[in-house]
Structure 1
Protein backbone atom coordinates (compact mmCIF):
# COMPACT_ATOMS: atom_id res chain seq x y z
CA UNK A 1 0.00 0.00 0.00
CA UNK A 2 1.42 3.40 -1.01
CA UNK A 3 2.17 6.20 1.46
CA UNK A 4 1.59 9.87 0.55
CA UNK A 5 4.23 12.30 1.85
CA UNK A 6 4.36 16.07 2.13
CA UNK A 7 7.88 17.55 2.21
CA UNK A 8 8.40 20.99 3.77
CA UNK A 9 11.32 23.11 4.96
CA UNK A 10 12.14 26.70 5.82
CA UNK A 11 8.65 27.84 6.78
CA UNK A 12 10.04 30.66 8.97
CA UNK A 13 6.66 31.40 10.58
CA UNK A 14 5.67 34.03 11.52
CA UNK A 15 8.67 35.96 10.14
CA UNK A 16 8.07 35.36 6.43
CA UNK A 17 4.32 34.73 6.50
CA UNK A 18 1.59 34.57 9.12
CA UNK A 19 0.59 31.02 8.17
CA UNK A 20 1.18 28.31 5.63
CA UNK A 21 -0.67 28.85 2.33
CA UNK A 22 -4.09 27.15 2.11
CA UNK A 23 -2.75 24.82 -0.61
CA UNK A 24 -0.09 23.54 1.78
CA UNK A 25 -2.63 22.97 4.59
CA UNK A 26 -4.72 20.97 2.08
CA UNK A 27 -1.61 18.89 1.31
CA UNK A 28 -1.13 18.32 5.07
CA UNK A 29 -4.67 16.95 5.23
CA UNK A 30 -4.03 14.64 2.24
CA UNK A 31 -0.68 13.30 3.45
CA UNK A 32 -0.07 10.11 5.40
CA UNK A 33 3.27 11.54 6.54
CA UNK A 34 4.46 15.14 6.79
CA UNK A 35 8.23 15.69 6.70
CA UNK A 36 9.64 19.06 7.82
CA UNK A 37 13.36 19.77 7.38
CA UNK A 38 13.71 22.61 9.88
CA UNK A 39 13.63 26.38 10.25
CA UNK A 40 10.19 26.51 11.78
CA UNK A 41 11.13 29.59 13.89
CA UNK A 42 7.99 29.37 16.07
CA UNK A 43 6.80 26.30 17.95
CA UNK A 44 3.15 27.11 17.08
CA UNK A 45 3.52 25.52 13.62
CA UNK A 46 5.01 22.37 15.15
CA UNK A 47 2.03 22.17 17.51
CA UNK A 48 -0.41 22.69 14.63
CA UNK A 49 1.23 20.06 12.41
CA UNK A 50 1.39 17.54 15.25
CA UNK A 51 -2.33 18.09 15.84
CA UNK A 52 -3.45 18.14 12.22
CA UNK A 53 -1.18 15.67 10.39
CA UNK A 54 -1.57 11.92 10.45
CA UNK A 55 2.15 11.53 11.22
CA UNK A 56 5.05 14.00 11.44
CA UNK A 57 8.79 13.42 11.08
CA UNK A 58 10.90 16.55 11.53
CA UNK A 59 14.15 18.12 12.66
CA UNK A 60 15.26 21.55 13.86
CA UNK A 61 17.10 24.11 11.74
CA UNK A 62 19.64 26.83 12.40
CA UNK A 63 16.90 29.41 13.13
CA UNK A 64 15.14 27.13 15.63
CA UNK A 65 15.80 27.49 19.35
CA UNK A 66 14.22 26.79 22.73
CA UNK A 67 11.30 24.37 22.62
CA UNK A 68 11.95 23.48 18.98
CA UNK A 69 15.45 22.17 19.78
CA UNK A 70 14.13 20.44 22.88
CA UNK A 71 11.30 18.67 21.04
CA UNK A 72 13.00 17.90 17.71
CA UNK A 73 16.21 16.06 16.80
CA UNK A 74 18.99 17.47 14.64
CA UNK A 75 18.53 14.46 12.34
CA UNK A 76 15.29 12.47 12.15
CA UNK A 77 14.88 9.05 10.56
CA UNK A 78 11.91 6.97 9.51
CA UNK A 79 11.28 3.87 7.41
CA UNK A 80 8.39 4.12 4.95
CA UNK A 81 7.44 1.54 2.33
CA UNK A 82 10.89 -0.10 2.42
CA UNK A 83 12.63 3.29 2.14
CA UNK A 84 15.00 4.57 4.82
CA UNK A 85 14.39 8.33 4.96
CA UNK A 86 16.45 10.88 6.87
CA UNK A 87 15.63 14.52 7.58
CA UNK A 88 18.26 17.18 8.31
CA UNK A 89 18.31 20.93 7.89
CA UNK A 90 21.80 21.79 6.64
CA UNK A 91 23.99 19.91 4.17
CA UNK A 92 26.60 22.57 3.42
CA UNK A 93 27.44 24.11 0.06
CA UNK A 94 25.95 22.70 -3.15
CA UNK A 95 29.34 21.74 -4.60
CA UNK A 96 30.14 18.20 -3.49
CA UNK A 97 26.82 17.81 -1.63
CA UNK A 98 25.95 14.39 -3.08
CA UNK A 99 29.29 12.80 -2.21
CA UNK A 100 29.45 14.48 1.22
CA UNK A 101 25.93 13.41 2.21
CA UNK A 102 26.43 9.88 0.86
CA UNK A 103 29.50 9.58 3.10
CA UNK A 104 27.57 10.80 6.15
CA UNK A 105 24.16 9.25 5.47
CA UNK A 106 25.09 6.25 3.34
CA UNK A 107 22.70 4.00 5.26
CA UNK A 108 19.70 5.98 3.93
CA UNK A 109 17.78 5.78 0.65
CA UNK A 110 16.47 9.37 0.81
CA UNK A 111 17.69 12.49 2.60
CA UNK A 112 15.30 15.44 2.88
CA UNK A 113 17.02 18.73 3.70
CA UNK A 114 16.41 22.47 3.76
CA UNK A 115 18.34 25.65 4.54
CA UNK A 116 18.96 26.98 1.01
CA UNK A 117 15.29 27.55 0.04
CA UNK A 118 16.31 26.09 -3.35
CA UNK A 119 14.38 23.05 -4.61
CA UNK A 120 16.74 20.14 -5.17
CA UNK A 121 16.31 16.56 -6.44
CA UNK A 122 19.49 14.63 -7.21
CA UNK A 123 20.90 11.18 -6.61
CA UNK A 124 24.36 10.62 -5.20
CA UNK A 125 26.72 7.91 -6.40
CA UNK A 126 25.62 4.84 -4.51
CA UNK A 127 21.93 5.75 -4.78
CA UNK A 128 21.19 8.24 -1.95
CA UNK A 129 18.45 10.58 -3.23
CA UNK A 130 18.66 14.16 -1.93
CA UNK A 131 15.49 16.25 -1.82
CA UNK A 132 15.03 19.88 -0.80
CA UNK A 133 11.41 21.08 -1.11
CA UNK A 134 12.40 24.77 -1.08
CA UNK A 135 10.18 27.01 1.05
CA UNK A 136 6.40 27.49 0.89
CA UNK A 137 6.65 30.93 2.52
CA UNK A 138 10.04 32.49 1.62
CA UNK A 139 11.20 32.14 -1.97
CA UNK A 140 14.30 34.29 -1.48
CA UNK A 141 15.99 34.40 -4.90
CA UNK A 142 13.78 31.67 -6.37
CA UNK A 143 10.96 32.52 -8.79
CA UNK A 144 8.35 30.72 -6.64
CA UNK A 145 7.67 29.47 -3.15
CA UNK A 146 7.66 25.68 -3.31
CA UNK A 147 6.99 22.40 -1.53
CA UNK A 148 7.06 18.74 -2.57
CA UNK A 149 4.70 15.83 -2.39
CA UNK A 150 5.77 12.23 -2.88
CA UNK A 151 4.34 8.76 -3.06
CA UNK A 152 6.37 5.95 -1.52
CA UNK A 153 5.52 2.43 -2.64
CA UNK A 154 7.53 -0.77 -2.29
CA UNK A 155 10.94 0.92 -2.19
CA UNK A 156 10.22 3.55 -4.84
CA UNK A 157 9.56 7.27 -4.44
CA UNK A 158 7.69 9.43 -6.97
CA UNK A 159 8.28 13.13 -6.20
CA UNK A 160 6.36 16.19 -7.41
CA UNK A 161 7.57 19.77 -6.96
CA UNK A 162 4.73 22.26 -6.43
CA UNK A 163 5.14 25.96 -7.23
CA UNK A 164 2.86 28.28 -5.28
CA UNK A 165 1.29 31.35 -6.86
CA UNK A 166 2.75 34.67 -5.72
CA UNK A 167 1.17 36.15 -2.62
CA UNK A 168 -0.77 39.32 -3.10
CA UNK A 169 1.21 42.35 -1.92
CA UNK A 170 0.11 43.93 1.34
CA UNK A 171 -2.20 46.92 0.87
CA UNK A 172 -0.38 50.23 0.99
CA UNK A 173 -0.93 52.50 3.93
CA UNK A 174 -1.23 55.73 1.97
CA UNK A 175 -0.44 58.98 3.72
Structure 2
Protein backbone atom coordinates (compact mmCIF):
# COMPACT_ATOMS: atom_id res chain seq x y z
CA UNK A 1 0.00 0.00 0.00
CA UNK A 2 1.59 3.25 -1.19
CA UNK A 3 1.17 6.20 1.16
CA UNK A 4 1.53 9.91 0.44
CA UNK A 5 1.90 11.94 3.65
CA UNK A 6 1.54 15.71 3.92
CA UNK A 7 0.56 18.44 6.35
CA UNK A 8 0.36 22.19 6.76
CA UNK A 9 -0.53 23.12 3.19
CA UNK A 10 -1.85 26.55 4.32
CA UNK A 11 -3.43 27.36 0.96
CA UNK A 12 -3.77 29.97 -0.38
CA UNK A 13 -1.96 31.87 2.41
CA UNK A 14 1.54 30.42 1.94
CA UNK A 15 1.32 29.34 -1.70
CA UNK A 16 -1.27 29.60 -4.45
CA UNK A 17 -1.38 25.84 -5.16
CA UNK A 18 0.10 22.51 -4.14
CA UNK A 19 3.48 21.91 -5.82
CA UNK A 20 3.26 19.96 -9.07
CA UNK A 21 5.65 17.15 -7.99
CA UNK A 22 3.38 16.46 -5.01
CA UNK A 23 0.16 16.70 -7.03
CA UNK A 24 1.55 14.29 -9.63
CA UNK A 25 1.95 11.61 -6.94
CA UNK A 26 -1.59 11.88 -5.54
CA UNK A 27 -3.37 9.63 -8.08
CA UNK A 28 -0.68 6.95 -7.70
CA UNK A 29 -0.95 6.69 -3.91
CA UNK A 30 -3.31 4.14 -2.43
CA UNK A 31 -3.88 6.49 0.51
CA UNK A 32 -3.17 10.18 1.02
CA UNK A 33 -2.78 11.30 4.64
CA UNK A 34 -3.04 15.01 5.53
CA UNK A 35 -2.29 16.10 9.11
CA UNK A 36 -4.18 19.39 9.08
CA UNK A 37 -3.83 23.10 8.50
CA UNK A 38 -5.39 23.00 5.07
CA UNK A 39 -6.74 26.55 5.56
CA UNK A 40 -9.04 26.35 2.51
CA UNK A 41 -11.74 23.85 1.57
CA UNK A 42 -10.64 23.93 -2.09
CA UNK A 43 -7.54 21.88 -1.21
CA UNK A 44 -9.67 19.30 0.59
CA UNK A 45 -12.03 19.16 -2.42
CA UNK A 46 -9.09 18.74 -4.81
CA UNK A 47 -7.48 15.92 -2.82
CA UNK A 48 -10.83 14.17 -2.43
CA UNK A 49 -11.24 14.26 -6.22
CA UNK A 50 -7.69 13.19 -7.10
CA UNK A 51 -6.95 10.58 -4.45
CA UNK A 52 -8.09 6.98 -4.21
CA UNK A 53 -8.54 7.37 -0.46
CA UNK A 54 -7.98 10.45 1.68
CA UNK A 55 -7.51 10.48 5.44
CA UNK A 56 -7.30 13.95 6.92
CA UNK A 57 -7.80 15.96 10.09
CA UNK A 58 -8.26 19.62 10.85
CA UNK A 59 -5.54 21.82 12.31
CA UNK A 60 -5.43 24.93 14.44
CA UNK A 61 -5.64 27.23 11.36
CA UNK A 62 -8.69 25.47 9.91
CA UNK A 63 -12.03 27.22 10.22
CA UNK A 64 -15.59 25.97 10.69
CA UNK A 65 -15.98 24.70 7.09
CA UNK A 66 -13.05 22.30 7.42
CA UNK A 67 -13.85 21.37 11.01
CA UNK A 68 -17.34 20.36 9.92
CA UNK A 69 -15.88 17.93 7.37
CA UNK A 70 -12.81 16.59 9.18
CA UNK A 71 -12.15 15.02 12.58
CA UNK A 72 -9.55 16.19 15.08
CA UNK A 73 -8.03 12.68 15.08
CA UNK A 74 -8.42 10.02 12.37
CA UNK A 75 -7.67 6.31 12.60
CA UNK A 76 -7.15 3.70 9.88
CA UNK A 77 -5.76 0.20 9.43
CA UNK A 78 -3.38 0.37 6.47
CA UNK A 79 -1.21 -2.50 5.29
CA UNK A 80 -1.53 -4.30 8.60
CA UNK A 81 -0.57 -1.23 10.65
CA UNK A 82 -2.76 0.88 12.92
CA UNK A 83 -2.37 4.52 11.88
CA UNK A 84 -3.50 7.68 13.61
CA UNK A 85 -3.44 11.20 12.18
CA UNK A 86 -3.55 14.33 14.34
CA UNK A 87 -2.38 17.89 13.84
CA UNK A 88 -0.77 18.92 17.12
CA UNK A 89 1.34 16.83 19.50
CA UNK A 90 2.86 19.55 21.68
CA UNK A 91 6.50 20.39 22.31
CA UNK A 92 9.27 18.30 20.78
CA UNK A 93 10.70 17.47 24.20
CA UNK A 94 8.81 14.48 25.59
CA UNK A 95 6.79 13.98 22.39
CA UNK A 96 7.45 10.24 22.09
CA UNK A 97 6.30 9.47 25.64
CA UNK A 98 3.31 11.83 25.44
CA UNK A 99 2.09 10.35 22.16
CA UNK A 100 2.70 6.76 23.25
CA UNK A 101 0.56 7.43 26.33
CA UNK A 102 -2.19 9.15 24.34
CA UNK A 103 -2.23 6.62 21.48
CA UNK A 104 -1.30 3.25 23.03
CA UNK A 105 -3.03 1.18 20.33
CA UNK A 106 -1.28 2.72 17.31
CA UNK A 107 1.72 1.59 15.30
CA UNK A 108 2.20 4.89 13.42
CA UNK A 109 1.15 8.44 14.29
CA UNK A 110 1.25 11.10 11.56
CA UNK A 111 1.23 14.67 12.83
CA UNK A 112 1.93 18.20 11.64
CA UNK A 113 1.86 21.73 13.06
CA UNK A 114 5.61 22.40 13.41
CA UNK A 115 6.49 22.27 9.67
CA UNK A 116 9.58 20.35 10.82
CA UNK A 117 10.08 16.84 9.38
CA UNK A 118 10.19 14.22 12.13
CA UNK A 119 10.73 10.47 12.21
CA UNK A 120 11.25 8.85 15.59
CA UNK A 121 10.08 5.76 17.44
CA UNK A 122 8.85 5.76 21.03
CA UNK A 123 9.97 3.10 23.53
CA UNK A 124 6.61 1.38 22.96
CA UNK A 125 7.32 1.00 19.24
CA UNK A 126 5.01 3.84 18.14
CA UNK A 127 6.49 5.48 15.04
CA UNK A 128 5.96 9.24 14.85
CA UNK A 129 6.06 10.95 11.45
CA UNK A 130 5.79 14.60 10.54
CA UNK A 131 6.14 15.27 6.79
CA UNK A 132 6.90 18.97 7.21
CA UNK A 133 5.07 21.28 4.81
CA UNK A 134 5.02 21.23 0.99
CA UNK A 135 4.21 24.95 0.82
CA UNK A 136 5.65 26.70 3.90
CA UNK A 137 9.18 25.70 4.90
CA UNK A 138 9.42 28.29 7.69
CA UNK A 139 12.86 27.74 9.28
CA UNK A 140 13.56 24.58 7.26
CA UNK A 141 15.82 24.56 4.20
CA UNK A 142 13.14 22.95 1.99
CA UNK A 143 9.43 22.39 1.70
CA UNK A 144 8.78 18.67 2.19
CA UNK A 145 6.36 15.74 2.16
CA UNK A 146 6.77 11.98 2.70
CA UNK A 147 5.99 8.74 0.92
CA UNK A 148 6.07 5.25 2.38
CA UNK A 149 4.81 1.73 1.86
CA UNK A 150 2.70 -0.14 4.41
CA UNK A 151 2.60 -3.89 3.81
CA UNK A 152 2.26 -6.95 6.03
CA UNK A 153 2.47 -4.90 9.21
CA UNK A 154 5.66 -3.10 8.19
CA UNK A 155 6.36 0.48 7.15
CA UNK A 156 9.06 0.51 4.48
CA UNK A 157 10.46 2.78 1.80
CA UNK A 158 9.87 5.88 3.93
CA UNK A 159 11.23 8.86 2.03
CA UNK A 160 11.27 12.55 2.85
CA UNK A 161 10.92 14.45 -0.42
CA UNK A 162 12.44 17.91 -0.75
CA UNK A 163 10.64 20.23 -3.10
CA UNK A 164 12.53 22.71 -5.29
CA UNK A 165 12.94 26.16 -3.77
CA UNK A 166 11.13 28.97 -5.50
Aligned to 1:91: 89
Q: State how many pairs are aligned.
A: 165
SS in 2 for 1:91: coil
Gap regions ≥5 residues in structure 2: none
Residue by residue over 1:97-146, the C-alpha shift from the partner in whole angstroms, topping out at 9 and shown as x without a partner, is: 00000000010000000000000000001100000000000000000000
| Separation in 2, partners of 1:116, 1:27 | 23
Give, in whole Å, the separation in 2 of the partners of 1:35 and 1:110.
12
Q: Tell me the equivalent position of 1:171.
A: none
Moved over 4 A (4+): none
Q: Please say which structure displays the higher CA radius of gyration.
A: 1
1:50 deviation in Å?
0.5
**Residue 70 of structure 1, CA deviation:** 0.3
Distance 2:103 2:25 in 1: 28
1:23 alignment partner, SS class: helix
Tell me the equivalent position of 1:28: 26
Q: 1:30 Cα shift? A: 1.4
Shift of 1:81: 1.1
Aligned to 1:172: none
Alignment correspondent of 1:166: 165
Confirm or deny that 1:18 pairs with 2:16.
Answer: yes
* Cα distance in structure 2, aligned partners of 1:122 and 1:141: 20
Counterpart residue number, 1:140: 138
Instruction: Provide, for residues 148-171 of structure 1, a one-character-per-residue CA deviation record: whole Å limited to 9, x for no partner.
Output: 00101100112110001101xxxx
Listed as ranges, the gaps of 5+ residues in structure 1 are: 168-175
TM-score w.r.t. structure 1 length?
0.93
Listed one character per residue, the Cα deviations across residues 74-101 of structure 1 (whole Å, up to 9, x for unaligned) are: 0000001110000000000000000000
Give me the whole-angstrom Cα distance separating, in 2, the residues matched to 1:101 and 1:55.
25
* TM-score, L = length of structure 2: 0.98
Write out per-residue CA displacement over residues 47-80 of structure 1, whole angstroms, 9 at most, x where no aligned residue.
0100110000010000001110000000000001
CA distance in 2, matches of 1:4, 1:126: 25
